Structure 1
Amino acid sequence: MPADEVPAEIAAALNESAFGLLQLEGVNGIDVGVDEADEYTLRLLVSNPDDPPAGLPDSIGGFAYILVAGTPQLEQAGIPDQQTYGVPGRDPIMGGIQLGPAAIAGGDVHAGTLGCVFRDPAGLPVAVSNAHVICGAVGDAIQQPAPQTDPAPTIERLGSLQQCLAPDTPSLFPGGLVSGSFDAALCSVDGARTAEVGRIADIGVATAISSPRIGSVVRKRGYRTGVSHGVVEGTLGAYKAHNHDGSERWMLLGQVSIVMIPDLGLNPQGVWSRSGDSGSVVVNESNEIVALHWGGDGMRGYATDFAPIAVAFGLGL
């Protein structure tokens, strides 16, 4: 079930109601999923479905809705983790490994996941992650793995920040959150580092770039959690993205949600993601890259359709 098959009336009800509903305390998102009868339905992400927020409407644009537990949180890590392919100076560079800005601000290291290496319009290798993981000023040095000393060793340099796509549209409501459709960033891969385009650690080589479909089985490799498996359960989502301290950072529109498959054989850590997995690419069973993961709440992950990101950055495999 791709997003373009969602009935126009349901999509319109979501779009007309999303900003107002997201002003209610305890409402963290709204998207389109399917109900127990496998029919499209609107879903409200709330902190606790058993204790619904006050002021919820009886219907949304005339449509019934269901409550789902969800609190999207950006998953940038503060401490480098050695569970990574990112041994200093060891190549090749590939998706699913650790990276971070070279600068250590106030003693804090910021680390996330390098989603995948692509080719830019000139045919050069470039790495993709989240804006909230590596974005600062264009030209900033990016390290792989994330730096553990200041200054970071030259041997760990990955490249330079090239472009950022992050929410920057002012809120429609006074004091509200800025919004946008992307949390993505592009980094060069310096000639001193060798890279494997399309390869994702422990997953394999991506075959294509596509879009997520509701009901599709997917997986990702975050440098903290490793490979995890889930099912796409929501599309056209408008979600509040929270910082680690619980404060609201921005609103992301047109997103997807993924629920972990409750199988310890597939997910031995019992979560879809954890801090540090931000920037992972999500791939389907055909090894097509379909989304860019930016946040989670343990059981669920939240991500952006990768096809428009690829168009915006001019990426190919």
Structure 2
Amino acid sequence: MKCKDLNEQIKIIDVDEFNGIYKTSNSIYSNSYSYYRSPKETDKFNTHFTVAPTDKGNGEFKKFHISFNFSKTGVRNAKIFFVNGKCTGYSTDNLLEFEVKEFIKYYEAHKGDILTIGAQFWEKVQEQKKIFNIRESKDSREFERRKHIQRIKSKVEDALLQREGVVAVDIDYKIKNGIKTDELAIIVFVEKKQNVLPKQRIPKTVQGIKTDVWETTLVPFSTATKTEPSETKSVINDSIVNPILGGISVGPFDLDLYGTLGIVLETNFGAKVMLSSAHVFMSGPHTIPGTHLSQPALPMGGHWPETDAGEFLMGFLGQPNNIDAALATVSHRNILPKTILQIGQTTGHDVTFPGDDVAKFGRRTQFTTGKVVSDTFTCNVNYPNFGTYTYYNQLRIQTVNPYDNFGLPGDSGSIVVNEDKEVVGMIMSGGETANDTKYTIANPIGDILRTFEANGIRFV
């Protein structure tokens, strides 16, 4: 891509000739819109604006970016970021080296024009707020309804989890004759629908809220079996990786079990640490600090001590911390901090909401994308080597096609990121309902960070 091509492109960006607005996502928690102009025959690449709310739930647009696509599929692009109409910087992720140089050269030469275009677009957004229609009355009513149901769910979920065969409780739309309705209900996930004693039956309503019973499996996402990635993708993480980074296989040095190393971080006291699920780093509930880890994991061909990756530091399962997470030190290897295979460097952390687009890279299913469908999933997870632990208000994630897998056993510990590459969660388990809908469960990152900070560890 030559600078002159970029120069030609910027001249045809005129907010008055853009065709209109279309929704890219819409839920009761978040809305994202793009304001676009159809490509022309003379275009070298397509340029578009994307507008998204930063304060999810209040319906106010504050943040947007201009995207310059260097490939027809949009995989390689540069983005110029704006907040409240003011430029805050740019990103050149996924560009080839020569494209990065050309873009930076162009950006520095035409920054004034770019700032003007951003300001013009922001004015356009303000003028057309009615078109965006961020908070429709129906969405508002559903939002309040969901919050009301959530308050009731929090009061009854412990009692429901104690009933025979119940593994999880959540909020979703009631299913009738195999089809989802538009009626929100308390969903009770059971291992198998069967006849039970009257006192163990799930009531049809709870404090005026209807219930629905879904048959499901629910398992932790580590595994003792060597499994090939989906679609026979090449295994790029089954050898010794140096520098070490997120997305590669890892496991105890003395147990045929593996999961995914989520991410490598640096702490406030200068230590290099690996973050993953506790049931990936630990061989049992009494694993002592200093226990060694292998990368690759033993089922992937690891042979300790040659494949020594570090030592277990601390881990937490279930209550009172509400997480499945652990830290380990890094031994004898360089690191790529805050970096994940095929995702790149993460940019921080954030809260996520139903409707948000997310992605992850794990050892088993590698790179997958999906949507958060719930942040109220409460469950009992039974770990073969640890026992059963309870987790409240976890993230439930599905792919756009609910019959595909966002994660599978072997992906535990994988970091989940949003569209801005901010960390929002870490995978621990998942399951499949009787109608073949697959789902993945992740700890919210906020719970993980708070737990380690309470134990004297902050990440820098």
Superposition TM-score, scaled by structure 1 size: 0.81
- Is the counterpart of residue 207 in structure 1 residue 347 in structure 2? yes
Q: 1:65: how far off?
A: 3.7
- Is the counterpart of residue 316 in structure 1 residue 452 in structure 2? no
Q: How does 1:23-172 map to 2 (within 5 A)?
A: 23-33=162-172, 41-47=185-191, 55-80=201-226, 84-104=235-255, 109-135=256-282, 136-147=287-298, 152-167=303-318
1:187 maps to a residue whose letter is: A
1:198 alignment partner in structure 2 = 338
1:217 alignment partner in structure 2 = 357
Partner-residue secondary structure (3-state), 2:323: coil
Partner-residue secondary structure (3-state), 2:326: strand
Match of 2:412 among 265, 275, 278: 278
Structure 1 residues 52 and 58: alpha-carbon distance in aligned structure 2, compared to 1, 3 A threshold:
same
User: Number of paired residues?
Assistant: 295
Aligned equivalents of 2:182, 2:247: Cα separation in 1: 33
Aligned equivalents of 2:376, 2:155: Cα separation in 1: 13
Aligned equivalents of 1:116, 1:38: Cα separation in 2: 39
Q: How does 1:234-253 map to 2 (within 5 A)?
A: 234-243=374-383, 249-253=388-392
Q: 1:128: how far off?
A: 0.8
Q: 1:219: how far off?
A: 1.4
Partner-residue secondary structure (3-state), 1:64: strand
- Is the counterpart of residue 292 in structure 1 residue 431 in structure 2? no
- Is the counterpart of residue 184 in structure 1 residue 325 in structure 2? yes
Q: 1:140: how far off?
A: 0.5
Instruction: Structure 1 unaligned segments of length 5 or more: list them.
Output: 170-179, 265-269
User: Which has the larger Rg?
Assistant: 2
Contact 1:85 1:98 in 2 (8 A): no
Partner-residue secondary structure (3-state), 2:169: strand
Partner-residue secondary structure (3-state), 2:280: helix
Q: How does 1:8-27 map to 2 (within 5 A)?
A: 9-27=148-166
Instruction: Structure 2 unaligned segments of length 5 or more: list them.
Output: 1-28, 30-55, 59-142, 175-179, 230-234, 433-437
CA RMSD of aligned residues (A): 3.2
Structure 1 residues 227 and 22: alpha-carbon distance in aligned structure 2, compared to 1, 3 A threshold:
same
Aligned equivalents of 1:300, 1:8: Cα separation in 2: 22
2:49 alignment partner in structure 1 = none
Identical positions, percent: 24
2:370 alignment partner in structure 1 = 230
Superposition TM-score, scaled by structure 2 size: 0.57
Structure 1 residues 260 and 47: alpha-carbon distance in aligned structure 2, compared to 1, 3 A threshold:
farther
Partner-residue secondary structure (3-state), 1:86: coil
Contact 2:238 2:248 in 1 (8 A): no
Q: 1:217: how far off?
A: 1.3
Map Cα deviations across residues 132-188 of structure 1 (whole Å, 9 max, x no partner).
Answer: 11122111111111136999343411111111111256xxxxxxxxxx611111111
2:83 alignment partner in structure 1 = none
Q: 1:285: how far off?
A: 1.2
Q: 1:23: how far off?
A: 2.1
Aligned equivalents of 1:3, 1:42: Cα separation in 2: 22
1:78 maps to a residue whose letter is: A
Map Cα deviations across residues 183-202 of structure 1 (whole Å, 9 max, x no partner).
Answer: 11111112x21111111111
Q: 1:10: how far off?
A: 2.5
| Greater relative contact order (Cα < 8 A, sep 6+) | 1
Structure 1 residues 131 and 37: alpha-carbon distance in aligned structure 2, compared to 1, 3 A threshold:
same
Partner-residue secondary structure (3-state), 1:9: helix
1:44 maps to a residue whose letter is: V
Aligned equivalents of 2:264, 2:281: Cα separation in 1: 15
Aligned equivalents of 2:57, 2:211: Cα separation in 1: 18
Aligned equivalents of 2:387, 2:381: Cα separation in 1: 6
Q: 1:206: how far off?
A: 1.0
Deviates more, 1:305-314 or 1:276-285: 305-314
1:174 alignment partner in structure 2 = none
Map Cα deviations across residues 257-286 of structure 1 (whole Å, 9 max, x no partner).
Answer: 11122189xxxxx32222211111111111
Contact 2:414 2:427 in 1 (8 A): yes
Aligned equivalents of 1:303, 1:60: Cα separation in 2: 27
Aligned equivalents of 2:358, 2:173: Cα separation in 1: 17
- Is the counterpart of residue 257 in structure 1 residue 408 in structure 2? no
Q: 1:13: how far off?
A: 1.0
Q: 1:48: how far off?
A: 5.9
Partner-residue secondary structure (3-state), 1:249: strand
Contact 1:73 1:244 in 2 (8 A): no
Structure 1 residues 3 and 138: alpha-carbon distance in aligned structure 2, compared to 1, 3 A threshold:
farther
